[in-house]
Structure formats: structure tokens, C-alpha cells
Structure 1
Amino acid sequence: MSRTRFDGLPPGKVASHLGVMLLVAVVLGVVVSGLAIPFAGVLGFSARNVSESVDDLPQELETEQLPQRTEVQDAEGKTIATLYDQNRVNVPLRQISRTMVEAIVAIEDFRFYQHGALDLKGTLRALLTNQAAGGVAQGGSSITQQLVKLTLITQAEGDKEAIRAAKEDSYGRKLRELRYAIALEKRHSKDWILERYLNTAYFGDGAYGIQAAAQHFFGVNAKDLKLRQAALLAGLVQSPEAYNPTRNAAQAKVRRDVVLERMAQLSVISQADADKAKDRKLGLHVQEQPNGCVNSEAQFFCDYVVRWLMADPALGATEQERKRLIFNGGLTIKTTVDLRYQKAANAAVAAHVYKDDQAIGGLALIEPGTGNVKGLAQSRPMGKKKGETFLNYTVPTRYGDAAGFQPGSTFKAFVLASAINQDIPLTQRFPAPQTLTVNLRDFTTCDGPYQSSETWSPKNSTSASAAPNLYEGTQKSVNTFFVNLEKATGICEPWKLAREMGITELTKAAQVPSFTLGIADVSPLEMAEAYATFAAQGLHCDARPVTEIADAQGNVLKKYEKQCTQVLASPVANAVNDVLRGVVSSGGFAAAQYPGQPAAGKTGTTSDNKAVWFVGYTPNLAGAAMVAGVNPQGHPESLDGKAVGGRTLYSSSGSTTAGPIWGDAFKAVAPLLDDVDFTRPSSSDVRGLLITVPAVSGKSYDDAKATLEGLGFTVVNGGTVDSAVGQGLVAYSAPGTGARLASGDTVTLYVSDGTPKVKKGKGKKNKGHGNGRG
């Protein structure tokens, strides 16, 4: 029978060995009884470890859900980004190759299925070896004990003190682990513990858990791991960084071969198989798992998704809880982005504004009728290097931190829609002098007349007739025309309408006479969302980047249904579309950008050229393109004289500077869009478009025609009729005086032959065909 010898040892060493033997006795007692007994009196222990008894420790370890990486998917289910604090994907034991299970058990705890929470032989061996070495030189922990340690570290969530306690090289820590390990073995099966261990363990190089490790080092799933692959991964858990095969290939191979040899010793594999595997290279096929939005081809859309979800209280009571769920919950986030649209947007922006330019280019695409955000692109990519930024200029401030830019004349569309809604005919004319001086108190806000005794003198940057109607005034973007139109509509309704259509961050401070000229800072996404309302015939849908989120098991946690409200009568929206399509049709400001689909839009340019815009749409896609000048500090400044997209801008405008971004993107995606057209304004259901036919009897044909065409009617000569009206003058119209028609409807004029109509049988027959009266 063997004996432990103390001959020649110093008294301190003898006492230490005695302490170890007593400690082993304590451990044996714990294991046998399943109860904790006081250890404060064990020789040499209390000075280095906690002073409380094991009885004071919790009897069960809370095994919370392991952090897992979240996948962000496009509309078709393709992963566009992964988000994680720990790169991990949990898999059940049945989806881990049997060879991998055998390798990890062989090298870490080959009696795992035979012993309880503690491997007594291994623990005793480690205790004696460590005492002889004067420290912790050998581990004796079972897989269950290792799982306890890994769990405590994982659940510390960065708490340095908790992590230190979980890693402490002391017998006190071993006893704490043991207490928890006993509880785990009582509550769970061996297979559950092994599965949890393989999913918790860190394998190095940023890979947590066996599935992430298999994918990272070999590009395969855990269920497909072969012998040499499994042996390498099994060897990594002892010291993931020391044996990291991407940095220390030689040491990794040595460790792998140790695992193979151990498997052969235990007859898990044959010696021949072990030797054959040892002769082979590591066989790495490293696959990086990018973390975060910076690696996505839809960087700023991804960023918007995260920020949008972070604002959802349904995902957690606090921002910290929501962030933990998003980055550690193993979620599948299904989004609305279409990578075909996103690529078109990326290419269009990059072609016209370079990342190092002292300007920002941006484009937002949104689907009318759903609010689905189809793509977001900006000229400066995400990052910290020169020409990069983490500010998302394409979305509202609350989701991207950027303050936005003035939208210029794109805000005129809200005044136009309000005018139509207030029964102002599209053919009504308003004075449009080159310079207009108005009293500010003549404008009304939601609180009554604008409180100012000052005057304002806006100027035109474009030319038009002296008194254009709503078609011409809008299509030529005449400033003084819209100032007069806004006087007629008031500021309140356009301001409310803009908010209802998606410019939700507009404050009451924006209710100023210059509202129609676009003085409030906005983002491309807001403008695209607003104009999508016109395309959807007055149905406003909140911008929606996410359709649903599911947990790691595939259970849907929340669906995000579209949120839509009718904010404009469809005939009013149809009328706006009819006006704005002239901007993109032949001869309009943006005619060069016609995408091959029916399209409408509006240009926008600020007075000092700090920002230029084009917001355009087809019946099934809306987009807002923007180019804004910024100085090196990121503050807005004029685009004039700046090199943008490889050319110096001596002048800039919405049609020539921002328009081409919109045009390039829409021309690229046009083949993907359904072939539909806008609904033309109806002459029967739009009050504001119904125009009273004036009395024209007695006027010359030319004068009558000019009057009617000035109101937007189409005039046709109906020929000569008997009438008492002077010969050659208009006898009457059809429809007649007082009739209500829509712009574009036809009015027929009948000319008098100077002979009064006589009763039937007593003279000439009436040659006219009209039913109106002069």
C-alpha cells in the first residue's frame, strides 16, 4: 500500500499537505452527503479564501439564456448583418457530431458519464500536484464544474469583480463551483450539461460555443465536424488564446495531437486513425462573422433598424434591456430592405457624391401604401476613418443623431395639397412678381394671425408668367406665387399636413411665413415618407424598417404591422400627383431623370445652396435624394465652389445636383416595378377641382376661348347656331354658364349666325347642338 511521505519537508509544507488532506475529506463529505459543511476551520484555508461557510452560498445556479448572435435579414430572408456581444449560436446535442462529443469528453473529463458533480480521482490528483508546485498547476474540474465557472463568467456581463471571483485560482472557488455543480447534476441530465457546456465554452478568436467555432475555423456546422477538426476544437477550450490556430498554428497542432492521442488511449478511436490524423494539416477554412452594421452592404439601413427597435418599449422596460435583447437574444430580425433597391441607391449616391467631398449625399427609398423602407444610402460610409462617419444623415434625428437639412421648395407640395383641399382650383391664378413685399401679419398660424409687424420680401429664383395657376406655379417652383398661395391657405393646415405625412419632428416654431420655402431641417427618409403619401392617394404609412422579430427558437416575438392613415382625400392626392408629374414629364425641371415609369416629383433648393433636393415617386416607390454642403467640422455650408462628385459646383439645384441621384436609382429599379399609372383627377369627386363655367355669351370666340383655357378647360368650336346674339359672337357654351367641371374637361363654344331662333315650322331650324345658355 502506498504512503504519502513528508520526510525532509519544512514544517510549513507538512502543515499545508495536512490541510490539503483535510480539505479533500471535506470535499468527499460534500459529495457524499450532497450537503455543505463549514470549512472555516480547515487548516490553512481561511486566510486565503472566503470566511463564510458553503452553507451560505446559493444552492442552485441560475442558468440564464446564453448570449447568442442576432441576425438581421432582408425582405427575402438573406442575412445582411449579425449583431452580438458574443458570437454564439446554440445547437442541441443531436446537432453536434458524435466525434466532437467524444473528443471533448476524452480530453476534458473522460469519466464524465460515470462520476457525479466531482471527479474524485481528478480532484485529488490536482490538489496534491498543486500543493507540490506551490500553486494551481493542474486542473481537476469536471465538465460540470467547468460549466459552472463559464456560466458565472458569462452572467457577470462585464463585472470585473464577479469575473475575477469566477476565475480565482483558489480552493474556495473550487468549493463554490462544487456546490453549484452538485445542484446542476441534481436538476439536469448529463446530456443537458454537456450540451450546455459545448454551447457556453469559448473556443478563441471570438467564437463562443461549438457551432460558432465550427463555422469560424472550418466553415462547417457543428454536426459535420470530422475527427481532426473536432480534436482541434476540443483542445482549444483549455487555453483558447495560447492554442489559437490562426495565430499559433504550431502550438495548436501540438494540442490537437494530444487530444488525438488521448482518444486513442481511451479506445475512442484506433491508434491508426489517430496517427493518420496527426499527419494531416490543421485544415483551417476561417470564416469571419462580421459584427455590427459597419460590415453590412446596407450599413445605414441596418443602423436605422437597431435604433428603431431600441425605441420600442415592448422589447424591454429600459434601453439597457432592449439592447441586451437585440445584441444577445439570438433574434432573427426580418426587415423590409430590398438589396436590389439598396444596391441601386448605393451606386447612385456614390456616383454623384464622393466620400471625401465636403458634402453629404443621401437617398431614401420607401414603398407607398406600406411604409416599407426599401433602401437607405449616403455618400460617407460608416466608420472612423477619413471620409467616414457614424452619423446617419438619411433618417430623422431621433434615429441617427444628424440634425437634417433644409428641404427648400419640396415643402411647397404641402401648401399645394392644402390649397386643393380648401377648394382652390388648380387653375386659379396668383400674382408672382419677381420680388414680393408682404406684411407678415397677413399670414395665419394655428394660433391666429402671425405675430409680427414686419414685412418680408421674398424673391423668385425661377421665371414664370405674371400670374401662374397652380400647375405652372408648382412646376416652375415660383416662390412669390407660393407665398401668395400660402396667404390664402394659411400656415396651419400645411404645417399640420406635413406632420401627418411624416415630418413628425416639425415644431410649432416652423409655423412661419417662410414655411412654404422649406426652412425646417428634415431627413431624406421623412421626405420620402411624406411624398409616398401622395403616391398612395393620400394614405400615409409610417416608415417601417422591420416586419417581425423572432427568438432563437423561431417563435415570433412581435409582428410590426403597417401603420397607415388616410390624411388626404384620394382625389386631392390625385390632383397633387397630376401637378407634380409635370416636373418629371417632358419639359419639366427633372425631365432628364424620367425613369421609364409614370413619375412625379418636386425640386428643392435652399436660398444659399446649403442643400439641394429632389423628391420624386412613381405610383409604387418614393425616393428623396439630397446633397448638402458641410465643412470639415460637419456644419452646413454652401455647396457653391465645392468639388462634389468629381466636378466643381459653381451653381447647384435640386434638378441638376440631387435629381441625377434619384434618376440613376429609379432608372435601375424601374424594371422591378409594376407597370401602373397614377389615377387622374376625377371631375366628379374633387370639390376643389370643380370649376364653374363662366358666362361667355356675347364675347368674341377668341376672348371666350382665352377665358376658358385660362381656367384649365379644353375648348372646342361647336360651329354656328341660330341666335339673337350678334353675328360672329359666342351664343352659348356647352356645358353652360354655372356648370362645374374639372380642369382639362372640354367646353364647346357655339357661335351665333346673327339670326334669331324661330319656332318649329316657322323659320330656320336651330343648327346648334348645345344645351347651355349665354
Structure 2
Amino acid sequence: MSRTRFDGLPPGKVASHLGVMLAVAAVLGVVVAGLAIPFAGVLGFTARNVAQSVDDLPQELETEQLPQRTEIQDVNGKTIATLYDQNRVNVPLRQISRTMVEAIVSIEDYRFYQHGALYLKGTLRALFTNQAANGVVQGGSSITQQLVKLTLLNQADTDAERKAATADTYGRKLRELRYAIALEKHHSKDWILERYLNTAYFGDGAYGIQAAAQHYFSVNAKDLNLRQASLLGGLVQSPEAYNPTKNPAQAKVRRDIVLERMAQLNVITQAQADATKAKSLGLKVRSQPNGCVNSEAQFFCDYVTRWLMTDSALGATVQERKRLIFNGGLTIRTTLDMRDQKAAQGSVSSHVYKGDGALGALALIEPGTGNVKALAQSRPMGKGKGETFLNYTVPQKYGDSAGFQPGSTFKAFVLAAAINQDIPLTKTFPAPNPGHFPLNEFETCDGPYQSSEVWSPKNSTSSSANPNLYEGTQKSVNTFFVNLEKTTGICEPWKLARAMGIDLSKEWQKPAFTLGVADVSPLDMAAAYATFAAQGVHCAARPVLQIADAQGNVLKKYDKQCTQVLASPVANAVNDVLRGVLAPGGFGQALYPGQPAAGKTGTTSENKAVWFVGYTPNLAGAATVAGVNRAGQPESLDGKSVGGRTLYSSSGSTTAGPIWGDTFKIIAQWLPDEAFVRPSTTDIRGLLVTVPSVAGQSYDSARSTLEGLGFTVVNGGNVDSSYQRGLVAYSAPGTGSRLATGDTVTLYVSDGTPAKPKGGGGKGGKGGKGGRGGGRGNGH
């Protein structure tokens, strides 16, 4: 090499040049005596020193899975949202057009398939040129070296690691060279090129060739033509400087350079290059939405991601789960039905406007499976006026709200407890207005309610003086239900509500329980009432069916989690009573969807929230309208403008009910025609069988005992228990529960590990004011 190349350079620059050359020689195991040895004194080290220091570097580069975008799909496989930190979809080399491969190799490393990890001639030429120009004028890194740099940067978790991956030091370059050699040793050229094309950033948020092809041209990587491939091939050198959406002139100049280079290398003819250069960029930009805010089902998407975040099978920590969900290239198949979602959202939005001082919400769930079919709320997701990021439709564990007081919708739990206790549907109870009830006459699970005060609730509806269970429920008579609750006790309705999915601590064992004073979410109320529709089978809400990885392999299936919590004849009787709410004379008569349906209205203290929870045999829904200010705090609905009209009074049937009714009238057209099972015309007393104690028995023995009583038995799996491994730990429903012949009993088998003691009662919501009874319900 001519010594004149150093003319005019300061001694430090000369030393720098020679240091790089010496380092390169050492890494490659080549000692070029004419270059390195004569200048060893100037540089202060020898080739042996460099070689030893290089030997200390790691010899392999761990290539982790590249971040890829995740797709959330509805029940039919349609994508409803994409989640990603980097918009990338990996594709094999065979699914990348040959023209694209030729373009990237021509411009970035035309001897890629001939040289090793380092193209020595090109690297030295680039080093001298760039040093002389005091900047980056010419690239000299091979594709393998570029892949190493991109990999180190992509896998950097901290600012320090990111800084180290991009530092303009010879130490970094030496490390990259060593890694490049290791990559070439352990992987084929095709593997390296494929990985490079999937790793590279192409600007405008597109990572990897597939995402870039889809973003800029709305095609797949396998279909890229010469005009498109030459543009993308030129972007990797400086993705933002040549960004065709922001700097089209510079992008065209760079594209034409690629085309000219391809012609020089005889990859294409000069005529092809000239013809393509005469064309426009040919962009057909398609943005890839990111996150739930861009979804057609924003708050369902939000619920799915938060629900999955709680699954320890997806990672030991929340951070690991989040990384998998947003970077794992997953396909998440959900239970969402977009027809139901559009019907629900349309109804909610038409009855409560996004800028109103109230919130409208609706949750739909399928009885017997727990499949969440739709979630809709009036305030869309976002930061603009009338928008919010708070999810009010789901429990606080997965959302942002403690919920709203459900009012008289809780009366259904007292009704079910009464029927379960053999109280005939025709039995009457006094309905004074107001009533006067000593609080210590109510029984909790721990004995009489501890208060000497007298509670005096009023009725907000009219009825006969002594209605039976049909009339008292249809007209939602407060004092009738208080008297009914005195008879059933608070404990059984409270336990039943918990078994049906309502998260209630012991503090809610209070006389006003029947009037609904504990905060709940629409989804929880829909799931609870779905239990009645499913003849007493409660299924936990399930938004996800399965998750598959980027290769299509199923990582996990989410089976339904269902338990018989109420005897089917009892549930059938509840259904028969609640049908009266939508029958002529019931508060929900106008909401009847044209199919057999049942439901219950609810209005709360100070009209802060109104509800309608209703169901057909195959779909349950809970609608609420709640006074909520912009800070998310509850307020009275009175005097608020809601849906274009001022509310001077509100009720479950007239304010929340139309949301439910309009939704179900649309959905009814594709719901199967099914009818509720009518209860026996005889008293259900004597038709129920008590579940015996089978704990400590072998599974086969316990199953035989229960099947002998006419029950259907299923295995619920292993649980922690002090019983010997293999013996039954407990059943659900438990000992003493009463079921009908054919109802299901789930047996849980001991794994031999004693259960860890748990804390008390569980989480409760915020209670409303209500004085002595602990809350007031307005009845309907």
C-alpha cells in the first residue's frame, strides 16, 4: 500500500490507522509484518498483545428470538389488534423475493457469498477513507458484521448496553469482528442473510423486510419487484435520512444508486436500471396499528392483555409476560364475536354520548362457557375530549374501576337462596312502605347482625300489601325483599353471590345486601346472571381460547372453568320468576328481544348508577349507566345530560335497559332459538339431593357414591391438601349442598401438599352511603 496515503495526516491519525489494521490482522490470525511490526514502537503494543486481548473476547454471539408483533384475533380468526414494541414479522429466506436478496447484497456486501466474516479489502478502504474525511463516508462492514451490531443493539436491555453497542470505538469493532467470525463458523450464509433481513430497520417503524414490504407497498416480501426492492435495499444504510414518506427526493436518489450498483454488477441490465429509475417510488403506504387504542374493540383488547398478564404460565414475572405478549409474535385467539361487539358498541354509543357526565357500559358473556362475547363503553379509549384509558367494564383486577353499586340486581341472589331453602314461589311476605326492621334480626354467617338500630327502607314501586315471589320480583319491591332476606338470612345469598363470581368480603354481609350496596363490574354481573341461564352452572369469564407462537404451534389452550353452584331446578325457578320482569306488566316489558328472556333492573342510592342485567338461554348481558366525572369519581345522574336528554329521574328499566334491549334485539337474529326449562309445577321440595361428604375417600369410591345418588361427576384436578396424595380433598358444590339428579359435582384430588393459610374475606368494593341498612336501593 502506498505510503502517500498518510500524507498530511497528523501522527495520531497515522497511529489510529495502523492500530485498526493491526487489530484486524490479529483477529483474522494474519500478521502483516510490513504494516504492523515497523510501527509497533509508535503504537506502544505488539501484534501478540492485540491477539491476546482478542482471545479474551467472547467467542459466540447468542442470538435471541427477534421481537415480533402479536396479533389478537376474534373468535373467527379476524385480527382485531396488533401489539408490538417493534413492528416485525419474521419470514424465511425462501419467502423473500430473489430480487430483494440481490438488491440488498449488491448495495451492502456484493462479495457476501465469497468472503468470510470480514471483507478485508473493503474494511481497510472504508477505514482509511472515513478517517481521512473525519466522518463516515464509506461503509466497510460485511453483512455479517452489520448483523452483529444490529443484534447487540436489539438485545441491549439497558442504556449502558445500548451505548456500548453503538460506541465509535475500536474495542466495539473488535468485539463485533470476533462475533462475526463465530456467526460464520456456526451458521450458513443463507441463515445470516435471512436473519439480517429480518433484523434490519427500514424506517417509519418497520423492522424486518416483511413489515417493510407491507408498510411501504402493501405487499408481502416474496412479491417485491425491482422498483420496490431497490428502494428498500437503500434504506438500511440510513433509514430515516432516506425515509420515502418524509424525504422522497433523497429516497429516490438512494434507490437509483442501488439500481446503478446492480447494473454494474450485472445483476440487472443497464436498460432495466434506467427504466426503473424513470419511475416514481410507487409507494402504497399502509400503517400497522399498534395497541388497543387502534382496535375495533378497544376495551376488550385491553382486558385480554391484562388478563394474560396474570397468567404465570407466560412468564415468572409481569415483565416477562409483557415481553412475551408484546414481542413474542403470538397469535391470540379470543372469544370476541365482532357482530356482538358492533351491536353492543352501537347501542351504548347511541344512548350515552362520549362527552356526557355519565358512563354507559355493557358486557356480554355466553352461559355455559364463560366466553366473553363483547365489552363496550361510551367513552372511547384515548387522550382527547370525552375519551379515557380507564376500563370500566371489567373487574378492578383487570381494569381501572372498582365498579358501581348494582342496586336491586342483587335481589336475584336472595330469590335464589329462598328457592333453594324450599320457600314456595307462591309464598307471600309483607311489603310495608316504609318498613321498620331491627338490624339484629338479620342473620350473618357469624350470627345475628351486630346493631341495635332500626332500619327503615322505603319502596319506590307499588305492589299488593303481601306479594309472592313472582310479584315481589317483577315489581322489585324493596321491603318485600328485606322480609325475604330476614327469612333466608344474609349468609346464603352472600355465599351464592360469591360462588357466582361476585368478589365480596365479609363487610358486605349487611341487611342492605339485597338492595345492592357492593361495587361490581358489568362483566361480573353478566357472568353471575349467566349462571341462572346455564341452569346453575357458573363459568369464570374467559376472553382467550388459545395462544400460538410465531410458527403456529399452540402454546396454551384456555379451557372453560365451570362449576355447578346452584341446583338446576332452583335456577330454572329463578329464570321463571325473572322472566316476569320482561313480560307484560314488568318494568322491562319494552326491552323484550323477541326470544325467551329474563332479567332484573337495579337503581342505586342517590341515582349514582342504574342497571339492567338480562339474559336469554344462550347469552347474558349487564348494562349500566353511572354518573362518573372526568376524574372517574361517582356522581348522581340527576340533572345530567345523557344521550342528548337531561335526566330528572333515572331507572334501570328506562335508562340502562334500552342499552341492553337494543343490543339484544339486534343479536337475537343470529342467536339459536332456545327456551328456558320450566320449573316443575309441584313444589321443588324433595326433588333435591344433599351432597354427602366424600373428602378423604379415593376418587373412584367418591365418584361411585355420588353417581349412585344420580349426580354427574367430573375430575377438577389436583389441589393442595393435607389429605394423602390421591384422595379426594373436597367437592364443589360442597358437603350439604343440594342438587338435582343429573347436576354436576366436581371432585378435587389431593396432591399431598398441605394448603398454605390464606387471609380473610377477600377484596370488597367501595360501599355507598346508606345509614343504618348500609345502603339504599330504589327498587327498579
Q: Identify whether the pair has TM-score above 0.5, normalized to the shorter chain.
A: yes
Q: Deviations over 1:100-120 (max 9, x none)?
A: 000000000000000111011
SS at match of 1:253: helix
Alignment match, 1:96: 96
- 1:474 equivalent to 2:473? Answer yes
Structure 2 CA distance for partners of 1:352 and 1:14, relative to 1, 3 Å:
closer
Quote the offset at 1:403 in angstroms: 1.4
Quote the offset at 1:9 in angstroms: 4.6
Cα distance in 1 for residues equivalent to 2:325 and 2:3: 58
Q: Deviations over 1:731-770 (max 9, x none)?
A: xxxxxxxxxxxxxxxxxxxxxxxxxxxxxxxxxxxxxxxx
Structure 1 residue identity aligned to 2:305: V
- 1:139 equivalent to 2:139? Answer yes
Alignment match, 2:54: 54
Alignment match, 2:660: 662
Q: Deviations over 1:612-660 (max 9, x none)?
A: 0000000110000000002343211110110000000000000000000
> Does the CA-based 8 Å contact 1:535-1:619 persist in structure 2?
yes
SS at match of 2:624: strand
> Does the CA-based 8 Å contact 1:22-1:42 persist in structure 2?
no
Alignment match, 1:680: 678
**Higher Cα Rg, which structure:** 1
Unaligned runs of at least 5 residues, structure 2: 33-38, 689-780
Q: Deviations over 1:327-353 (max 9, x none)?
A: 000000000000000000000000100
> Does the CA-based 8 Å contact 1:201-1:209 persist in structure 2?
yes
> Does the CA-based 8 Å contact 2:27-2:178 persist in structure 1?
no
Cα distance in 2 for residues equivalent to 1:685 and 1:113: 86
Alignment match, 1:301: 300
Alignment match, 1:545: 543
SS at match of 1:134: coil
Quote the offset at 1:136 in angstroms: 4.2
Number of residues of Structure 1 aligned to a counterpart in Structure 2: 680
Alignment match, 2:162: 163
Matches within 5 A, 1:19-34: 19-29=19-29
Cα distance in 1 for residues equivalent to 2:527 and 2:484: 24
Quote the offset at 1:18 in angstroms: 3.8
Structure 2 CA distance for partners of 1:632 and 1:329, relative to 1, 3 Å:
closer
CA RMSD of aligned residues (A): 2.1
Quote the offset at 1:161 in angstroms: 1.5
> Does the CA-based 8 Å contact 1:608-1:638 persist in structure 2?
yes
Cα distance in 1 for residues equivalent to 2:42 and 2:551: 48
Structure 2 CA distance for partners of 1:51 and 1:414, relative to 1, 3 Å:
farther
Kindly report structure 1 stretches of 4+ aligned residues shifted beyond 6 Å: 39-42
Structure 2 residue identity aligned to 1:553: Q
> Does the CA-based 8 Å contact 2:27-2:51 persist in structure 1?
no
Cα distance in 2 for residues equivalent to 1:681 and 1:314: 43
Q: Which one scores higher on RCO, CA 8 angstroms, separation ≥ 6?
A: 2
Structure 2 CA distance for partners of 1:21 and 1:67, relative to 1, 3 Å:
closer
Structure 2 residue identity aligned to 1:687: R
Structure 2 residue identity aligned to 1:530: A
Alignment match, 1:441: 440
Q: Deviations over 1:177-232 (max 9, x none)?
A: 00101111111000000000000000000000000000000000000000010000
Matches within 5 A, 1:257-276: 257-276=256-275
Structure 2 residue identity aligned to 1:656: T
Structure 2 CA distance for partners of 1:6 and 1:480, relative to 1, 3 Å:
closer
Structure 2 CA distance for partners of 1:462 and 1:93, relative to 1, 3 Å:
same
> Does the CA-based 8 Å contact 1:20-1:128 persist in structure 2?
no
Matches within 5 A, 1:49-198: 53-157=53-157, 159-198=158-197
SS at match of 1:658: helix
Cα distance in 1 for residues equivalent to 2:196 and 2:380: 40
Structure 2 CA distance for partners of 1:469 and 1:684, relative to 1, 3 Å:
closer
Unaligned runs of at least 5 residues, structure 1: 33-38, 691-774
- 1:278 equivalent to 2:277? Answer yes
Alignment match, 1:702: none
TM-score with structure 2 setting the length:
0.85
Cα distance in 2 for residues equivalent to 1:27 and 1:542: 61
> Does the CA-based 8 Å contact 1:524-1:625 persist in structure 2?
yes
Structure 2 CA distance for partners of 1:14 and 1:347, relative to 1, 3 Å:
closer
Alignment match, 2:627: 629
> Does the CA-based 8 Å contact 1:214-1:221 persist in structure 2?
yes
> Does the CA-based 8 Å contact 1:415-1:489 persist in structure 2?
yes
Alignment match, 2:325: 326
Alignment match, 1:371: 370
Matches within 5 A, 1:549-560: 549-560=547-558
Cα distance in 2 for residues equivalent to 1:550 and 1:574: 39
> Which range moves more in the overlay, 361-370 or 23-32?
23-32
TM-score with structure 1 setting the length:
0.85
Structure 2 CA distance for partners of 1:12 and 1:392, relative to 1, 3 Å:
closer
Structure 2 CA distance for partners of 1:508 and 1:185, relative to 1, 3 Å:
same
Alignment match, 1:767: none
- 1:580 equivalent to 2:551? Answer no
Structure 1 residue identity aligned to 2:256: D
Quote the offset at 1:545 in angstroms: 0.4
Structure 2 CA distance for partners of 1:3 and 1:631, relative to 1, 3 Å:
closer
Quote the offset at 1:455 in angstroms: 1.3
Alignment match, 2:701: none
Structure 1 residue identity aligned to 2:599: G
Cα distance in 1 for residues equivalent to 2:30 and 2:544: 53
Alignment match, 1:693: none
Cα distance in 2 for residues equivalent to 1:96 and 1:11: 48
Cα distance in 1 for residues equivalent to 2:16 and 2:442: 93
Structure 1 residue identity aligned to 2:409: T
Structure 1 residue identity aligned to 2:405: Q
Cα distance in 2 for residues equivalent to 1:358 and 1:429: 41
Cα distance in 1 for residues equivalent to 2:161 and 2:448: 64
